[in-house]
């Protein structure tokens, strides 16, 4: 089923959770069999496709779990789209990157989780 922004009643938002390299190429990947990684990779690609459709009027929140090194980075399929969105925003106030903590509704074991909101 295709997603059409105009067909969704307002208010609506999009939450994308932990679309990171760790799950398909990094530390978590080492513990998962191929048949579990492929659907994750496909879902990252689907999220990138959805973001490319131009969800300009849909508030979007992305989170990243606190992994070290390149595991913290967004998966390549998503990173390029997010970078493009950041570059094309005419008003920097629409983009917010901040650490999230238990005051923001997350458990203390995720206190260094980052969120990206636009």
Share of the chain above pLDDT 70, in %: 64
Rounded distance between C-alpha atoms, residue 28 and residue 54, angstroms: 31
User: Alpha-carbon distance 9 to 57, whole Å?
Assistant: 12
Structural domain boundaries, residue 64: 11-117
The answer to whether position 1 is within a domain reads: no
Residue 42 lies in a domain: yes
Q: Which residue carries 């909101």 as its tokens?
A: 117
- 5 in a structural domain: no
**Per residue in 50-97, pLDDT tens?**
888 877 678 888 888 888 888 889 999 999 888 887 766 544 444 444
Per the structure, how many domains does the chain have? Answer: 1
For residue 2, is it within any domain? no
Better-scored residue on pLDDT, 23 or 58: 23
Indicate whether 3 belongs to any domain.
no
| Mean pLDDT value across residues 33-58 | 89
- Does residue 77 contact residue 48 with C-beta atoms inside 8 Å? yes
Whether residue 6 is contained in a domain is answered as no
């Amino acid at each position: 089923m295709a997603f059409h922004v105009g067909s969704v009643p307002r208010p609506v938002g999009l939450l994308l959770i932990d679309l990171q390299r760790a799950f398909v190429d990094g530390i978590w990947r080492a513990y998962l069999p191929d048949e579990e990684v492929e659907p994750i990779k496909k879902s990252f690609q689907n999220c990138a496709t959805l973001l490319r459709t131009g969800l300009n009027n849909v508030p979007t929140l992305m989170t990243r779990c606190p992994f070290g090194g390149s595991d913290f980075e967004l998966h390549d399929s998503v990173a390029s789209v997010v970078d493009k969105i950041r570059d094309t925003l005419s008003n920097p106030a629409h983009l917010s990157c901040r650490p999230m903590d238990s005051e923001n509704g997350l458990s203390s074991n995720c206190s260094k989780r980052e969120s990206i909101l636009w």
